[in-house]
Each structure stands twice: as C-alpha cells, then as structure tokens.
Amino acid sequence: MSATTAIVGAAESDLGVTNASILTLQSQAITRALADAGLSLSDVDGLATSGVSRFSATQVADYLGIQPSWCDSTFAGGSAYEMYIARASQAIASGQASTIVISFASNQRSARSRSLGGVVETHTPEAQFESPYGPLFPLSYYAMAAQRYMHEYGATRADLAQVAVLAREWALLNPKAFRYDAGPLTVDEVLAAPMMSSPLTTADCCLVTDGGGAVVVTSLERARDLAKPPVQILGYGESTTNTSMSQVPLLPTGAVASGKAAFSRAGLSPSDVDVVALYDSFTITVLLSLEALGFCGPGEAASLVASDRVRPGGDFPLNTSGGGLSYCHPGQYGVLLLVEAVRQLRGEAGARQVSNAEVALAHGTGGILSTHATVLLGVDR
C-alpha cells in the first residue's frame, strides 16, 4: 500500500503513581500529543480510545468538549491501539475525519484497581472447562504458553529471564521509566523473585502503573505542513484468534497473520526493520512474538534475546523504552509502543536513540494471546 497517512504527534501522560483520575490522564496525553503536532482540540474530528474502565470514546470526547464525526472504542486489549491505526487511516482516506487522536490512560496503580485473581467466567464465560483449576487471569494463561514453549524447544526459565534483563537495560536509559533508578537486573534475580504462576515469577510479569499515551493521525499531505516531521504509516495487519485458550493451539500465535499482512501492505520484510517495539506483558510474550513476526525461526528467540544485538548499541534494538516490564504498564500498553516508535524515527529518544532509524515495527498483543496487531512506521522521504 502507498502511505497516505502519518502520525504527527505523540506523547505520554504522567506515569507511575499519579493519584490522578483516568480522565485527567487521558486529557494530559491527548493535549500533549496535539501540542507536539502543533494542533489543538478544535482540530480533532476523530477519537479512538478504549480502557480497562468504563471510559469510552464518547465519554472522553464529552470530557474534552469535542464532537467528533468519527470515533472507535473497539475493545481488544493491548493490541487495540495498533488496530486503531488501521481504522484511523481508513477513516481519513474515506473522508470521515481529518485529524484523529488515538489514546489510552489508566490509574490502576493509584486506584489499586487491577485484579489478577477471580474465576475465569468473569472475563470469558465460555472458558468453563478451565476455571475449575483456578487460573489467575491472564497470568496463568501466559504461564501455560511459557511451559509449552519450554517443552517444545528446550528453553529454560533463564531464557525467559533474559527478556526482563534486556528491558531493564533499556529502562536505565529512559528517565520516564518506572525502573529508571532501580539499577541493573540479573537473570538470577529474576529466577529468585517470588513465583506467581510456574514458570513465571513476579519479575517475568509487567509492571502495574498509572499512565497513558496518545498519538495524532492525519493525512500525509497535511502532515508535511505541521510542526514535527511526519511518521508515515506504511502498513498494518491484525488477527483475532480466541478468548479462552482451551479451543486453540498455544503455538504459534496470531502474530503470524498480523505480521504477514503488515509486511505485505508495506512492501517490507523483517530485515528492513530498524527498531522493534513488542508488547511485553510477560517475558514469554516477547519470545513468541519475535518468532511469529519472522525475526527469527521457531525456538530461536531465546538466543536472540540473550545476544548483544538487542541491547543498546546493537543492530536489532528491541523495546527501547524499557517496555511494560520496566518502563510503564497501565493495563493496556499498546499506545505507548506507538509513542516510542515515533520518537525513535524522529530522533527524539535521547540516550536510548537508535542511529539512523528509518523503519519501526510496533506490535500489540491483547487478552490471553487473543488479539494481535502489527503496525509498520517509517520516516518521511
């Protein structure tokens, strides 16, 4: 596909422990992203947002005092924001809207609103054959995927731990990261952390923080007249595979289909990507996504993550913000993958900046390996 839309603004809300309301964090992210683009709320005629709470696009629009001609509140977990990129691009191309904001925010740490326990029926009533075993949602499901991966390929808990170690290395270069001042993390520390759902310890699990982010999408033609260099939307793809896990194979994930579609639309291949931003709800999510997206073969992700290629200064920079494991995870992390990709392509990432980055991939995962969405972004040429 030929790039006709671009991201022109990107920003975070306050992060960490904010003691702010969800709507306050939403408005922070949105107004900061608009300011980054040199735009204002009066320019916005499209809004896409979802959340772990009741706040939909209509409620956020009402709070902001805008009346968009197009909105989307598709709920697909952490991958929704990559899905919104496709919907926004299509809406702009069809003339339904000209300036669309994609946003998310949550105050789950301040409000202590996240619950990992409870019966599965609360989330997926069709999973009646799983709930008698008392799984933690979604943790135990990712743990099952990790057990299967280890069995299939001979991987170890130490291989999983390398993902968390890598995330911390990047977070130490990001002043906004929740673990910025925490110091390096070692494999032994990950393995020694309290076990949550075998084989995943607390250090294999994403953070629980407040925060949010927003990106602004408009036509590429208009983008070239705005404040910042536009980041072209080159391609996108998505796949929805399941809600419960009892009826689908654990491996490979739906990222195979979403990645294939995104690369095909962009006319690119994995070797063309300079910066990779993968949803890292758990350490296993990264290994599965690397393989499904074609960055390495089945069973090879562990050795890739253990190499210097993915670390600062390497030729395959991975999760450069510090990811959901060490930077920020407000319940749905997908929009912050886009924010980091934009910053890297603009050369705005500071100490963690990747040299000569021209193509970035952002990949979101939602639910219990349920939804998958891939976006390819590039510098304007």
279 in catalytic set: yes
Q: Give the pLDDT of residue 117.
A: 43
142 in catalytic set: no
Q: Are strands 46-49 and 99-106 parallel, antiparallel or unpaired?
A: parallel
Q: Which of 142, 149, 279, 333 is catalytic?
A: 279
Q: Give the pLDDT of residue 329.
A: 97
pLDDT confidence band for 332 (50 / 70 / 90):
very high
Stretch 141-170: mean pLDDT: 97
**Pair of tokens at residue 341:** 């990709």
CB 102 within 8 A of CB 236: no
Domain annotation for the chain: domains and CATH numbers: 5-111+207-379 (3.40.47.10)
pLDDT confidence band for 118 (50 / 70 / 90):
very low
Q: Give the pLDDT of residue 119.
A: 43
| Rounded percentage of the chain residues whose pLDDT exceeds 90 | 88
| Rounded percentage of the chain residues whose pLDDT exceeds 70 | 96
Q: Give the pLDDT of residue 85.
A: 98
Q: Which of 81, 84, 142, 327 is catalytic?
A: 327
Distance, CA of 58 to chain centre: 23
DSSP H/E element including 233: strand 231-240
Instruction: Please count the other Cβ atoms lying within 10 Å of the Cβ belonging to residue 257.
Output: 18
- pLDDT > 70? residue 137: yes
Q: Indicate the burial class of 2 (C-beta count within 10 angstroms; 0-12, 13-18, 19 or more).
A: exposed
Give the tens place of pLDDT for each residue, 28-78.
999 999 999 999 999 999 999 987 555 689 999 999 999 999 999 999 999
- pLDDT > 90? residue 260: yes
pLDDT: which is higher, 96 or 243:
96
